[in-house]
């Protein structure tokens, strides 16, 4: 990866902007309000257009229609937000730490190691694990027996991969994630819970990002599957035998019960609860705090629950909600009375 600073001309080439001839140096990224003369900024939404006139950034990513609004150097791109996302990779501070294996790491002699690895202190790599070239594993992480990790995947500190988990190439696994723990499987025998040992594993595709504290359970028989390009936020629970399609994005604190099948290119907002053994169609969007209790077979936008309102109003609405059964019964009675009085009368 290249490292900052960059000239504006270099950034224009790297971010696929219209060519600019400028040796002005850019050392970071800032907002339109906070960026300095050696920082890059961007205009994503027209609601912030008024900030361009006072922006002091050394260069600003804009669409063509806003080039004349920039007081400094305009970098004209098709989509400023996408260009900004790509620019963060240039300035994110993930500088190469140098490949090497800490002498404090414990690596099984039967593990297969690729080239150019970075393995931190106290990492444990168990028997039969296969680690691809260019992989980084942070301190105190545990890689279970027969795990497979694809090339250029980055695992942060304190991550646990249980046995036989498979990660694709170019994944990012953040601290505290646990992949491959037992799914929640028990059989009730006259009040006694008998554990169902989870005999499947977890398969994670390429270019997947899994947030801090997220847990992905191993399958009971078949594997739990996370498709290519999936992004999972922090503190998500993925139950056993769940299947998440390619390029789906799921926000924090969502819980997905076992054997749910989520399609490709879905977006699931924070705090959503998804019941087990259901299907969600490709391209579905689910808003925050929704409870998904049945399958969604056609894509769309789905919501449930009540939104915030002043407390006194909420209390009145709760009372009315509790009266709905009685109100429904009374309406039906009134309908029957009207029907009896109108039957047989001329129209």
Which residues are catalytically annotated? Answer: 240
Q: How many CB atoms lie within 10 A of CB 228?
A: 17
Nearest to 175 by CA among 210, 216, 207, 205: 210
Please report where in the chains the tokens 């260019």 appear, as a residue: 134
**Which residues, other chains included, contact 14 with Cβ-Cβ below 8 Å and sequence gap of 6+?**
2, 6, 86, 87, 90
Q: What is the DSSP letter of 164?
A: T
Sign of CA dihedral 154, 156, 157, 160: negative
Q: 5-14 as b/e, with b when 16 or more CB fall inside 10 Å?
A: ebbbbbbbee
What is the distance of C-alpha 68 from the center of its chain? 36
Please report where in the chains the tokens 């936020």 appear, as a residue: 233
Distance CA(173)–CA(65), nearest Å, equals 39
Residue 223 in 3-state DSSP? coil
Distance CA(2)–CA(90), nearest Å, equals 7
Q: Phi and psi (nearest 5°) for 62?
A: -145, 165
Question: Is the previous residue joined to 297 through a cis bond, with omega within 30 degrees of 0?
Answer: no
Q: How many CB atoms lie within 10 A of CB 19?
A: 9
Residue 102 in 3-state DSSP? coil
């Amino acid at each position: 990866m290249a490292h900052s600073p960059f000239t504006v001309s270099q950034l224009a080439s790297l971010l696929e902007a219209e060519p600019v001839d400028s040796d002005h140096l850019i050392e970071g990224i800032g907002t339109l309000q906070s960026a300095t003369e050696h920082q890059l900024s961007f205009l994503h939404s027209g609601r912030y257009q008024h900030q361009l006139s006072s922006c002091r950034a050394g260069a600003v990513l804009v669409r063509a229609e806003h080039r004349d609004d920039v007081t400094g150097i305009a970098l004209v791109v098709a989509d400023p937000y996408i260009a900004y996302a790509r620019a963060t990779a240039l300035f994110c501070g993930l500088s190469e730490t140098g490949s090497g294996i800490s002498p404090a790491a414990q690596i099984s002699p039967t593990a297969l190691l690729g080239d150019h690895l970075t393995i931190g202190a106290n990492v444990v790599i168990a028997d039969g694990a296969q680690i691809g070239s260019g992989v980084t594993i942070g301190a105190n992480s545990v890689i279970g027996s027969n795990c497979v990790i694809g090339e250029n995947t980055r695992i942060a500190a304190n991550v646990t991969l249980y046995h036989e988990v498979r990660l694709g190439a170019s994944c990012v696994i953040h601290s505290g994630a646990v992949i491959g723990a037992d799914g929640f499987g028990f059989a009730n025998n006259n009040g006694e819970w008998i554990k169902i040992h989870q005999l499947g594993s977890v398969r994670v595709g390429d270019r997947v990002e899994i947030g801090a504290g997220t847990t992905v359970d191993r399958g009971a028989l078949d594997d739990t599957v996370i498709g290519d390009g999936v992004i999972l936020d922090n503190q998500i629970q993925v139950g056993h035998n769940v299947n998440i399609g390619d390029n789906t994005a799921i926000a924090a604190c969502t819980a997905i019960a076992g054997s749910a099948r989520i399609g490709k290119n879905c977006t699931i907002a924070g705090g959503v609860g998804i019941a087990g053994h259901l299907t969600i169609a490709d391209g579905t969007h689910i808003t925050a705090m929704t409870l998904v209790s049945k399958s969604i077979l056609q894509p769309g936008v789905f919501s449930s629950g009540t939104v915030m309102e002043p407390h006194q109003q909420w209390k009145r609405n709760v009372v009315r909600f509790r009266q709905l059964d009685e109100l429904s019964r009374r309406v039906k009675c009134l309908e029957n009375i009207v029907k009896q009085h109108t039957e047989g009368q001329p129209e």
